């Protein structure tokens, strides 16, 4: 792995399953899919268009509404429709800047004005940690601790 990894690389290095529901799906049904798949967000798709996203964070906020009933509420009334995107060729540091700067957990990845997938902040964090681990291992391989322990200041006589 390297800092040259792009959003496209990350998408193809993980399970590519994108779980989606239609806008008229009951929230309880979306929650069931999310629990079964162990995911924190579900895409709302109308035909071949992505029209929204609904997350576990949304559930927490919605649950505070007295009138919210996940068995009767439909997802289109509660989903986020402002889909934040990143280009497929953006590197992992640029992606992390977007996650942190906009306080997001999910980014839709686009190529030629179409959404081709999405990444979570966890996907990018994992790639960054792997990149730093590899960098540290490479540095350690170049200069071992033995080098430092054998190195000394020579006293002038």
Q: For 109-130, how does the pLDDT look when each residue is reduced to its tens digit (9 = 90+)? A: 999 978 888 898 888 888 888 8
* pLDDT score, position 154: 61
**Is pLDDT above 70 for 150?**
no
Residue 1's pLDDT band (cuts 50, 70, 90)? very low
Q: For 43-53, how does the pLDDT look when each residue is reduced to its tens digit (9 = 90+)? A: 999 998 999 99
Burial class (CB in 10 A: 0-12, 13-18, 19+), 43: buried
Residue 155's pLDDT band (cuts 50, 70, 90)? low
Q: pTM of this prediction?
A: 0.73
Instruction: Compute the distance between CA of residue 87 and CA of residue 68 in angstroms, rounded to an integer.
Output: 36
Residue 139's pLDDT band (cuts 50, 70, 90)? confident
Residue 149's pLDDT band (cuts 50, 70, 90)? low
Instruction: Compute the distance between CA of residue 53 and CA of residue 90 in angstroms, rounded to an integer.
Output: 22
Residue 5's pLDDT band (cuts 50, 70, 90)? confident
Residue 52: Cβ within 10 Å count: 21
The strand pair at 49-55 and 41-46 is best described as antiparallel
Residue 98: Cβ within 10 Å count: 17
Q: Residues 6 or more apart from 43 whose CB is under 8 A from it?
A: 18, 19, 20, 21, 50, 52, 53, 118
């Amino acid at each position: 792995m390297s800092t040259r990894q792009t959003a496209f690389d990350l998408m193809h290095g993980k399970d590519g399953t994108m779980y989606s529901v239609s806008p008229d799906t009951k929230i309880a049904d979306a929650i069931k899919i999310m629990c079964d798949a162990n995911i924190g967000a579900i895409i709302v798709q109308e035909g071949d268009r992505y029209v929204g996203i609904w997350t576990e964070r949304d559930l927490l906020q919605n649950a505070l509404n007295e009138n919210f009933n996940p068995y009767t509420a439909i997802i289109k009334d509660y989903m986020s429709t402002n889909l934040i995107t990143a280009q497929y060729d953006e590197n992992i540091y640029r992606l992390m800047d977007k996650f942190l700067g906009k306080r997001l957990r999910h980014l839709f990845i686009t190529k030629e004005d179409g959404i081709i997938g999405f990444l979570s902040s966890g996907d990018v964090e994992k790639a960054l940690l792997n990149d730093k681990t590899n960098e540290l291992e490479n540095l350690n391989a170049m200069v071992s601790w033995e080098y430092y322990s054998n190195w000394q200041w020579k006293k002038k006589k």
